Structure formats: C-alpha cells, structure tokens
Amino acid sequence: MRKSICLIALSSTLFACSSKTTNFGSEEKSGMAHGMVQLGEVEGYFSSLKPAQDTVLILNKSSFSRNFHPARTMGSPLTDINFDTRKTAAIVLPETVFETDIRIDSTYVHEKTLHIVYSVKQSPEKRSFTTIPSKAFTFDAKLDVQAVSFEKAGKATKIEL
C-alpha cells in the first residue's frame, strides 16, 4: 500500500513538472493586470496584405474578413472567432522566400495597455516560393485595456482601442 501511494505521488510530481504553459491558450478568460494574458491562436487563415514592413493590426469582423482569408487544407479546421467576446490582433510581415516564424514571447497588462512582445525567426535557406508570414490571435474583449503595444527588439507600436 505504501509503495502505491509513493508511486502515485511520484507520478503526480513528474506530470506537474512536465506540463508547460504557453501564451497561446484556450479561449478562456484573460489574466489579471500585471499578469500574463492568455491569447487564443487563430488558425487556418492567410493574410491578403502585402506590407513593405512589419505591420500590426487590431481587427474587427469586417477588417478581419477583408484582410484574412481561409487557407483550406486537409484536416485543418478554421478557428471560429466570436467578435462579440474576443478582440482580434495580427502581426503581418513583408513577403519573403525564407521560412519565417513569428513567436509571441510574452503578454502582459501594464497601465491599461496590453503589451505583446514578439520575435521573428527566419531560416537562412531560400525557398522556391514566397509567403507573407502572419500570426493572428485573440484576447478577451473584457480585458480592461485602452491600448495594445506590439514590441519587437526594443521597438514598440502602440494602437489605441
């Protein structure tokens, strides 16, 4: 009996240590002020914008429909966005022949501003086609913020809501 209890305790500890959290969570309520804010990842869409430089956006339903279109692929469902309860934001980069990954490094609220810190990783190998890298995500519309600040490599772009 004692061995069983020890085994259960050890298993629970190992499971707890191996689980990890990310900034992209389920569509649940966002964190508190000065805490991490959960973002909902938007999947299955591509950007129709062709910016000359990094572009950040806060989108309502009509601007999302105008700037993002379904990317139909086998087995990849589109994210359903409830624009009444979620605000939608996006980062869109210039067209490139390099594989590019946009990473959300941290999210937090400070002084009524949602800060979204991101980085861009680019593969050194050229591909035979171009893409427009983008990352769209949602956050709780009830989050008590007046602006969103997108921050990359020490530079920030602030958008008032």
pLDDT digits (tens, 9 = 90+) for 14-31: 333 333 333 443 333 333
Domain enclosing residue 117, as ranges: 22-160
Q: What angle do CA 110, 142, 69 make, to 5 degrees?
A: 100
Residue 2 lies in a domain: no
User: Could you say which DSSP state residue 3 is in?
Assistant: H
The band of 50, judged by pLDDT with boundaries at 50, 70 and 90, is very high
Separation of alpha carbons 144 and 47, rounded Å: 28
pLDDT (0 to 100) of residue 35? 67
Residue 4 lies in a domain: no
Residue 47 lies in a domain: yes
Residue 8 lies in a domain: no
Residue 139 lies in a domain: yes
Mean pLDDT of 99-119: 97
What residues contact 152, with CB distance under 8 A and at least 6 apart? 54, 117, 118, 119, 120
Residue 97 lies in a domain: yes
Domain tally, the chain: 1
Mean pLDDT of 124-151: 97
**pLDDT of 7 strictly over 90:** no
Residue 7 lies in a domain: no
Least reliable range by pLDDT among 24-38, 48-62, 83-97, 138-152: 24-38
Separation of alpha carbons 40 and 125, rounded Å: 30
CA-based nearest residue to 59, from 121, 153, 135: 135
**pLDDT of 85 strictly over 60:** yes
Residue 16 lies in a domain: no
